[in-house]
A and B are shown apart, each in its own frame.
Chain A
Amino acid sequence: DGGITQSPKYLFRKEGQNVTLSCEQNLNHDAMYWYRQDPGQGLRLIYYSQIVNDFQKGDIAEGYSVSREKKESFPLTVTSAQKNPTAFYLCASMRAQGSSPLHFGNGTRLTVT
């Protein structure tokens, strides 16, 4: 079955370390997204990418970086510059036509201590 795979489900890091969250999709979708979810804050857009080798900052991009070298993959790096990195991170994808349903992965819960 097609879908989005995020790994790992739980991730623990020490403060000051960079950490990369994986997101892979086999839906043949062109657009991919990263959202951060905190209690009471909804889903906040970090980065999104419409095509390979191109991506745009979302509303809370500071302290994060991404790459889009392959259509199937959109890894997110949480850098040490992110002041409050502990959160639930969701990856999503959408067909190229736009205004199509977002398909979400099951998320990665990152805890930084």
Chain B
Amino acid sequence: QQPVQSPQAVILREGEDAVINCSSSKALYSVHWYRQKHGEAPVFLMILLKGGEQKGHEKISASFNEKKQQSSLYLTASQLSYSGTYFCGTEGSGGSNYKLTFGKGTLLTVNP
């Protein structure tokens, strides 16, 4: 079952902040975040693991609430290059089982 992302789309002016949310109906082992620009492959941003470990991008932060089965991606002082579609991907609980299921995406547009 796909995780649910919100909002579906957001428009910012350069320098503004944004939060993208990802929630699941099942217990999670990990949450991945990727960004995809139009016509390109998705690019890795961040992994958050059950227990608090994070791996990823220095300029982007995220949180993972295991009890609520939710994750949020925080984009601060947005730049034009942040524009794209953001996807969260989730692995079910019980340890990594390699099955990574993605949400429908959040389209972020940053304007000058």
Contact = CB atoms under 8 A, between A and B. Distances in A.
B108 to A, nearest CB: 15
A94 B42 CA distance: 14
Contacts, number: 67
Given A90-B42, A107-B41, A101 B102 contact: no
Contact of A99 (B2, B47, B104, B105): B47
Contact of B99 (A56, A101, A103, A107): A56
A101 to B, nearest CB: 4
A33 to B, nearest CB: 7
A101 B32 contact: yes
Interface residues of A, number: 27
Contact of B89 (A40, A56, A102, A103): A102
A43 interface: yes
Given A43-B42, A102-B44, A104-B41, A58 B98 contact: no
A43 B29 contact: no
Interface stretch (A19-27, A44-52, A62-70, A77-85): A44-52
Interface string A28-46: 0001010100001111110
Interface in A89-113: 90, 94, 97-107
